[in-house]
Structure 1
Amino acid sequence: MSWIWLRVLLAVTLALAGGLVGRLLGLGDRWALTGALTGMAVGMLVFIIRDVWRGHQLLRWLSGAMGGEPPRMGGFWGEMATRVERALRSRERGAAIERDRLAQFLSAIEASPNGVLLLDASEQIEWCNALAADHLGLDRHRDLRQRVTNLVRAPAFVTMLQSRSFEQPVQISQPGGSGLLSVIVRPYGEGQRLVLTQDITERERADAMRRDFVANVSHEIRTPLTVVAGFVETLTNLPLSEVERKRVLALMAQQTQRMQSLVGDLLTLARLEGSPRPPSDAWLPLARLGSAVEMDARGLSAGRHRLNFDWGGEVELAGNEAELLSAVTNLVSNAVRYTPEAGQIEVRWRQRPEGAGEITVRDTGPGIAAEHLPRLTERFYRVDGSRSRDTGGTGLGLAIVKHVVQRHGGELLIESTPGQGSCFTLVLPAMRVRLPVTRLAAHS
């Protein structure tokens, strides 16, 4: 508070100085008092003018943008300017910190996997992130301050807002019917609403696939179980001849084998989906894998087909031998099952110029219509269900092949024309194909 005493001292000093000058300039005693008073008045006037001018400078700075330096002066107004500047700078720093925090918070919301929409008490849009705008078909800048129900007219969403029943989420379609959204609304503040949107299209599709899978497995297992149960009842209750008994037992064995194959394929799929990716440094000779495939194919064909195999000489593949054997065996077994007697089946290896490798299985079977090709690798999908069961297929073979080749970084290509046969190509990336070191040295 030293500036107060300085201000009082300055005022008294100016008054005394003015009075002294006035007295010295006075003519005689008559004018001495008048001169002293006049001098005091002039001194006070000078002080007031100086004070008013400093106050004016400070006021002008306060009235402006206050971006530059405040007026530098001593005394009361100087102290006032310094404290005002300090308070302003402190407030600016606080505001900058809050802006940074808000920016970080909004950036975090932008990075959220959910859409976020803020509504005021009148259900007008205050803010939304890019994902919410995409989910609900909004323009995040143009649609601000617009009533949300004028823009999002899904009946379930509008009903939830109007009834103020926010306990359970609702599901609505995305604009254009491109997907399915789950919408959650939560109240906050003074009548405000927080709207969260989540794209559940893939989840619903996965749930539907899971339900279909369970239904298909139940159906596939129930059929042979029903047959076996019927045969057991027949053997128990009816007197059968030896020929009839052998025939019934053979059919029971066939259905049991079918169930075993189905359970085995299901376990294979579960193992493929739950295990780590195959190693890329475990090399196996393609000829060894091909020999096992060829043996199974000739046993299954039993001389009914013309089989040609070409494994490309000394080639090595990196991966899981059991998985690769299962994938190629499934392709060749399908070709044998669906190709009529005297038909031709070719299995060939070819290395592409960029280093990738192909195992192609081509047959002269009945072929497959184009509309079925995209769905062939779906579990339990059959072009002709009754014929697939007659040939002993479980409907999981191509699903296993697709999983195996994808786990090895490759792809399965399918070409087929009705009446002209089919061609299945298992493509492996270049990093999983190599020639043995001895052969590479010979080439060099």
Structure 2
Amino acid sequence: MELSNTWLWSRVTARVLTGSVGGYAGWWLGARMGYPVLTGLSAAAVALLSVTVLDTLKGYQLMDWLRTPDVDPPKLPGLWGEVAHRTHRVLRDREREILNERERLGQFLSAIEASPNGVMLLDATEHITWISTAAALHFGLHPVRDLAQRVTNLVRAPAFVQHLAHGDYAEPITFASQGGHTTLSVTIRAYGEGLKLVLSQDITERERSDTMRRDFVANVSHEIRTPLTVLSGFIETLVNLPLTDVERVRVLTLMTQQADRMQTLVSDLLMLAQIEGSPRPASDTWCRVSALMERIANDARGLSRDRHTLVFSVAPAERLVELAGVEGEWLSAMGNLVSNAVRYTPEGGSITVSWVTCPDGRGEFSVRDSGIGIDAEHLPRLTERFYRVDGSRSRDTGGTGLGLSIVKHVVQRHGGELRVSSEKGKGSTFTILVPSMRVRVRQG
């Protein structure tokens, strides 16, 4: 306010002085011509008009600069120069603030883009004002082309349309995305004057995990309930019925089989839980392939009881080969493949188990049988827990439905790969590929 008053008084003073000087000069000149008053007034008016015109030209220069304030302001004296300088400073500060805000907005949007969750902004008429890349993928939209489009014209999932129209956004909704390949959880929040924030999350894996967990619990309960029911029936028989020695031995034998079945199931479950919850094993513990093959061969011969032709092939040069990792896990994985081959190969069939070190340093453990084979439709699901191609046959052969799942997790933990090839009625081949970093030839 003080500065404004100073400018005001300086401009008034300047005009008073200009008018006074002009009037005095005109009076002095008019006194010699005989018209001092008229000449003095005229000279004062001309002086004031000249100052006003000059002042107006300076103001015009300033207005002309304001049309394109990106260039430097004109160098004007006095008030207009100060106005130009201050205006230029204000514009620079404002531009700097705008640039800072844009930078912060860009960083904020970049952070949103980095999130796996989708974000979409809708105006009061439910038109898209902004959408992140993740949200565009979730809803099957284009992040640029679909801007300013009404969202319900593009996302036509009934659950989403009804939820958006209902207006009660307290709880999220879940529905299948367009195409049905993923499951989305969508939360809507209202803000501002009718604006809406739409948050989307791909919960496909979570839903699949929940389903697998429910199936796992159901399968475990079923697998344990069956032998428990049998044991309970046999116990009741032993308590309530007089049995001969032969009958008692038969009942006790069957009870032992069911108890062994439950013990095997629990052991496989504990093994699977231990494998899934453990970190990848180090590569500083080694075990001989030939020793593993010998133990697997002994177990296979005991399971087969001379009903199959068993061939275990390890070349003499391979007898010094060693594997890195947990010996018990390798034995479990390889043993499961061989025991499966014995169980699902009819009497008189052949089973060939081999180890080969490839030229690139990788190892291949292969189990080939002449058994019943597997239809192609079942191959992708073989390693799922409790998945059985033929449930009744698997139980008859003593399988728990966890063997191949254990094999898969052991192989993956050691950085390897499990391959399966099979054809119905023509046998199967299961191959474990061991990475070269876990295979070495022992020296000496």
Deviation of 1:344 (Å)? 2.0
Deviation of 1:45 (Å)? 1.8
The residue that corresponds to 2:424 in the other structure is 418
The 2-side partners of 1:220 and 1:169 are apart by: 37
The more displaced of 366-375 and 93-102 is 366-375
Which of 392, 397, 402 matches 2:403?
Answer: 397
Structure 1 segment 323-402 matched on structure 2, within 5 A: 323-402=329-408
The residue that corresponds to 2:114 in the other structure is 111
Contact 1:128 1:140 in 2 (8 A): yes
Structure 1 segment 102-141 matched on structure 2, within 5 A: 102-141=105-144
The 1-side partners of 2:349 and 2:142 are apart by: 62
Structure 1 segment 183-222 matched on structure 2, within 5 A: 183-222=186-225
The 1-side partners of 2:310 and 2:37 are apart by: 139
Q: For 2:251, give the aligned amino acid.
A: V
Deviation of 1:299 (Å)? 2.2
The residue that corresponds to 1:13 in the other structure is 17
The 2-side partners of 1:176 and 1:406 are apart by: 31
Structure 1 segment 245-256 matched on structure 2, within 5 A: 245-256=248-259
Which of 272, 275, 279 matches 1:276?
Answer: 279
The residue that corresponds to 1:442 in the other structure is none
Deviation of 1:113 (Å)? 1.6
The residue that corresponds to 2:231 in the other structure is 228
Which of 39, 56, 73 matches 2:43?
Answer: 39
Contact 1:317 1:434 in 2 (8 A): yes
The residue that corresponds to 1:89 in the other structure is 92
Deviation of 1:15 (Å)? 2.5
Q: Secondary structure at the match of 1:156?
A: helix
Structure 1 length as normaliser, TM-score? 0.94
The 1-side partners of 2:115 and 2:68 are apart by: 38
Deviation of 1:57 (Å)? 0.5
Residue deviations 1:135-181, cap 9 Å, x none? 11222323323322222222222222222121222122211222211
RMSD: 1.7
The 2-side partners of 1:241 and 1:434 are apart by: 60
The more displaced of 416-425 and 234-243 is 416-425
The 1-side partners of 2:309 and 2:274 are apart by: 34
Residue deviations 1:335-387, cap 9 Å, x none? 12222333222111112222211101111222222222111111111112122
The 2-side partners of 1:235 and 1:378 are apart by: 38
The 1-side partners of 2:289 and 2:28 are apart by: 125
The residue that corresponds to 2:185 in the other structure is 182
Deviation of 1:27 (Å)? 5.4
The 2-side partners of 1:12 and 1:105 are apart by: 59
Q: Does residue 1:51 correspond to 2:71, yes or no?
A: no
The 1-side partners of 2:377 and 2:148 are apart by: 49
The more displaced of 123-132 and 325-334 is 123-132
Q: Does residue 1:314 correspond to 2:320, yes or no?
A: yes
The more displaced of 389-398 and 15-24 is 15-24
Q: For 2:245, give the aligned amino acid.
A: E
Q: For 2:237, give the aligned amino acid.
A: T
Q: Secondary structure at the match of 2:319?
A: coil
Structure 1 segment 57-76 matched on structure 2, within 5 A: 57-62=61-66, 64-76=67-79
Contact 2:157 2:178 in 1 (8 A): no
Q: List, as ranges, runs of 4+ consecutive aligned residues in structure 1 with deviation greater than 6 Å.
A: none
Deviation of 1:20 (Å)? 4.0
The 1-side partners of 2:304 and 2:140 are apart by: 58
The more displaced of 40-49 and 8-17 is 8-17
The 1-side partners of 2:297 and 2:25 are apart by: 129
The 2-side partners of 1:119 and 1:319 are apart by: 55
The residue that corresponds to 1:164 in the other structure is 167
The 2-side partners of 1:118 and 1:97 are apart by: 23
The more displaced of 140-149 and 244-253 is 140-149
Q: Does residue 1:78 correspond to 2:84, yes or no?
A: no
The 1-side partners of 2:328 and 2:205 are apart by: 31
Contact 2:157 2:177 in 1 (8 A): no
The 1-side partners of 2:312 and 2:336 are apart by: 15
Q: Secondary structure at the match of 1:183?
A: strand
The residue that corresponds to 2:412 in the other structure is 406
Q: For 1:225, give the aligned amino acid.
A: L
The 2-side partners of 1:175 and 1:418 are apart by: 37
The more displaced of 147-156 and 87-96 is 147-156
Q: For 1:66, give the aligned amino acid.
A: P
The 2-side partners of 1:195 and 1:225 are apart by: 51
Deviation of 1:228 (Å)? 0.5
The 2-side partners of 1:293 and 1:140 are apart by: 58
The more displaced of 288-297 and 244-253 is 288-297
Deviation of 1:301 (Å)? 2.2
Q: How many percent of aligned residue pairs carry the same amino acid?
A: 59
Contact 1:118 1:125 in 2 (8 A): yes
Q: For 1:194, give the aligned amino acid.
A: L
Unaligned stretches of 5+ residues in structure 1: 439-444
Residue deviations 1:109-150, cap 9 Å, x none? 112221111122222222111111221122232332332222
Q: For 1:143, give the aligned amino acid.
A: D
The 1-side partners of 2:275 and 2:327 are apart by: 13
Contact 1:4 1:76 in 2 (8 A): no
The 1-side partners of 2:282 and 2:295 are apart by: 21
Q: For this pair of structures, how many residues does the alignment match?
A: 437
Q: For 1:352, give the aligned amino acid.
A: C
The 2-side partners of 1:226 and 1:143 are apart by: 61
Q: For 1:429, give the aligned amino acid.
A: P
Unaligned stretches of 5+ residues in structure 2: none
Residue deviations 1:16-74, cap 9 Å, x none? 33234334433526233333333322221221111000000011111x23110111112
Contact 1:7 1:75 in 2 (8 A): no
Contact 2:336 2:404 in 1 (8 A): yes
The 2-side partners of 1:96 and 1:263 are apart by: 65
Q: Secondary structure at the match of 1:358?
A: strand
